[in-house]
Amino acid sequence: MRILTAALLCLLSAAAFADIQIKDARVPAAPPTASVLTAYMDLHNDGDSDRQLLGISGETFSRIEMHLSEVIDGVARMSAVDAIELPAGDTVSLKPGGLHLMMFNPAEPLTVGDEVTLTLEFDNGEAQTVVLPVAKRRVGGAHQHKHQHQKKHQHGHSTTP
C-alpha cells in the first residue's frame, strides 16, 4: 500500500511542471440512473512542444474513455479516440457535440454540487489531477466561464516505503 502511495505521489509530483492548463472543467448533471456521464473542459497547452492526452482515470468510474461526437450528413456519430492532440500554444475544448469524456458506471448517482476527481495522463509521462464540479447542463451555446476547479498537486512528499 505504501509503495503504491509513494508511486502515486511521484507520478503526481510531475504535475508541478505541467504546462497544460485545465479550465472550465465540469461534469454536466445527468439523470440519476444514467450509466454513462461526460465531462467537458478546456485544455490549454502553455508549453513550447506539442502534447497528447493519452488517458483519464477516476476512482468513481469503472473506466473512462475519450470520445468524439460528430454530426455527419445529419447523423450523430460517436467514436472513441486513443489520444487528444494538444498543439503547443493552443486550446482544445472538450465540449458538447465534440470531443468529450465518456465515463462509465458512476459508483453512485451524482447531483449538482458534487465533485468528481479525475487524473489526466499525458504523453510525456506527466499526470494532472483535476476536481470537477457537477454542474447544471448548459444549453444554447452560452459559454459562461465559472470559477475554475483545478487542483494541481505540488511537489510530492517523498516517503520511504
Partner 1 sequence: MSDNPAQSPLWRKLLIGMAIAGLALITGFFAREWSQQKTAPELENATLYPSDFRPLPPLDLTADNGSRFSNEDLMGRWTLMFFGFTHCPDVCPNTLAVMAEAYEQLGDYQRDVQVVFVSVDPERDTLDKLGDYVGYFHKDFMGVTADEETLDEMAGRMNIFFEKETPDEHGNYEVNHSAAIFVINPEGRRHALMSAPHMPGAMGSDLKTMMEHY
Pull the grid cell for residue 60: 468513481
Residue 17 touches partner 1, criterion: CB under 8 A: no
- Using DSSP bridges, classify how beta strands 51-57 and 115-122 pair: parallel, antiparallel or unpaired: antiparallel
User: Distance (Å, rounded) from C-alpha 111 to C-alpha 33?
Assistant: 11
Question: Do residues 117 and 131 lie in contact, with contact meaning Cβ atoms separated by under 8 Å?
Answer: yes
Pull the grid cell for residue 38: 461526460
Give the count of residues interacting with partner 1 (CB under 8 A): 32
Residue 80 touches partner 1, criterion: CB under 8 A: yes
Pull the grid cell for residue 112: 449538482
Residue 102 touches partner 1, criterion: CB under 8 A: yes
Name the minimum Å distance from CB 6 to partner 1: 31
Residue 112 touches partner 1, criterion: CB under 8 A: no
Name the minimum Å distance from CB 23 to partner 1: 19
Report the residue number, 10 or 81, with the smaller CB distance to partner 1.
81
Question: Do residues 49 and 88 lie in contact, with contact meaning Cβ atoms separated by under 8 Å?
Answer: yes
Name the minimum Å distance from CB 90 to partner 1: 22
Name the minimum Å distance from CB 45 to partner 1: 23
